[in-house]
Copies of this chain bind each other. A is one copy, B any other.
Amino acid sequence: MTKQNSARIIGTGAYVPSKVLTNHDLEKLMDTSDEWIQEKYGIKERRIVSEDQEQNISDLSYNSAIKALESAKIHAEELDLIIIASIYSDIRSPATACILQGKLGAKNAVAFDMNIGGCPNAVFAMTTALKFLDGVRFKRALVVCTEIYSRFIDWSYRNTACFLGDGSGAVILESCPKEEGVLAYNLYTDGTKYNKAWWPGGGTVDVLPNQKTPHIEGKDVWEFGNTATPNVIIETVSDAGLEMKEIDFVIFHQANVNIINNVMDMIGLPRERTYMNNYKYGNTGGASSLIALDEAIHLGKIKRGDKLAICSYGAGLAWGSMVLNY
């Protein structure tokens, strides 16, 4: 972990599109069932953008960012850094974060996009912001994770289409003295396993068409989720100088309720110390950790003074955890 200044969360926000797609709706599109999806993933419905509205990465990001700014009680001009982490962008160039900067009027910010693999993005982007927050040039950072999977999904391919959803989560980090905010983090990627969870198309390998079927080696990703995830949380809690029982709440990437329950059992924390919302949103990639964080705060499950662990993992393969004082 780093020895520099730390950073604390001063605001969060979340946005999901209003259009609901239920498992029963999916039954009409593909050979699947509400029962099978709920048992395998814990998902009942998900939100997707409407094709009749202009809803792009910058639009969803704007909506979650505005809520995060309100929650932090700061103006956009007070932001020094804007990071959007997504597997998509509005357009090829420039970064969607620049477009968002313009929409927010965040005239003092530096803006860029980053990506690890979608699902793991939240902890990686928050750590990148933490690294920038030196308290001198960079005092406040907006981190937004947004995915619009629905526009790229092959809706007839039931293995992946049934568990994805659209959404955006945002967090505002502010530079603070050591020990007051983030206590420790750990990030890992293993690119030798990039093809365990990958999404073809959209890049130089296949310029056209934009293929629409993500490929997931279910068994391998299940094993990965159930080993890498508890290990990185245990390591990061230890790096923070804490015992696991001191962790008041854990926020996970919302891929799968069964993995989350398993991992809570493995790290020895009661399941009440986590929050799951993928029953209503599905897997919204990097957005999922930040949407869950925002909702858990609004529900009073996470309170100021709590010791919080965040863990996100997925395509890369990539996994990471951050432990902080909320």
Which B residue sits closest to A239, measured CB to CB?
B137
Q: Mark A105-118, 1 if CB is under 8 A from B, else 0.
A: 01101111111111
Q: Mark A57-81, 1 if CB is under 8 A from B, else 0.
A: 1000000000000000000000000
Contact B205 A90 (CB under 8 A): yes
Given contacts A137-B2, A189-B101, A194-B102, contact A204 B94 (CB under 8 A): no
- Identical copies of this chain, number: 2
A to B CB contacts below 8 Å, 13 in the list: A1-B136, A4-B134, A90-B204, A90-B205, A92-B198, A93-B198, A94-B116, A94-B198, A95-B116, A96-B203, A97-B189, A98-B318, A101-B189
- Residues of A that sit less than 8 Å from B by CB: 1-4, 56-57, 87-103, 106-107, 109-118, 124, 128, 131-132, 134, 136-137, 148, 151-152, 187-194, 197-211, 214, 315-318
Contact B95 A117 (CB under 8 A): yes
- Write the nearest CB–CB distance from A290 to chain B, whole angstroms: 17
Assuming A112-B124, A208-B208, what are 17 further A-B pairs, CB within 8 angstroms? A2-B134, A87-B92, A88-B204, A90-B205, A92-B199, A92-B200, A93-B115, A94-B117, A94-B315, A95-B117, A96-B203, A98-B191, A107-B190, A110-B187, A112-B116, A113-B115, A151-B207
Most chain B CB within 10 A, of A111, A113, A152, A192, is at A111
8 Å CB contact of A152 from B1, B92, B96, B134: B92
CA distance A91 to B204 in the complex (A): 7
CA distance A146 to B277 in the complex (A): 39
8 Å CB contact of A132 from B91, B131, B148, B197: B131
Most chain B CB within 10 A, of A97, A114, A189, A207, is at A189
Given contacts A109-B189, A210-B210, contact A202 B94 (CB under 8 A): no
Closest 10 CB pairs of A and B: A94-B117, A102-B191, A101-B191, A98-B191, A92-B199, A92-B202, A89-B203, A94-B315, A102-B192, A93-B199
Chain B residues near A201: list those with CB within 8 A.
91-92
Chain B residues near A211: list those with CB within 8 A.
92
Chain B residues near A202: list those with CB within 8 A.
89, 91-92, 202
Contact A214 B1 (CB under 8 A): no
8 Å CB contact of A91 from B3, B111, B203: B203
8 Å CB contact of A191 from B99, B114, B200, B208: B99
Which B residue sits closest to A131, measured CB to CB?
B131
CA distance A187 to B100 in the complex (A): 17
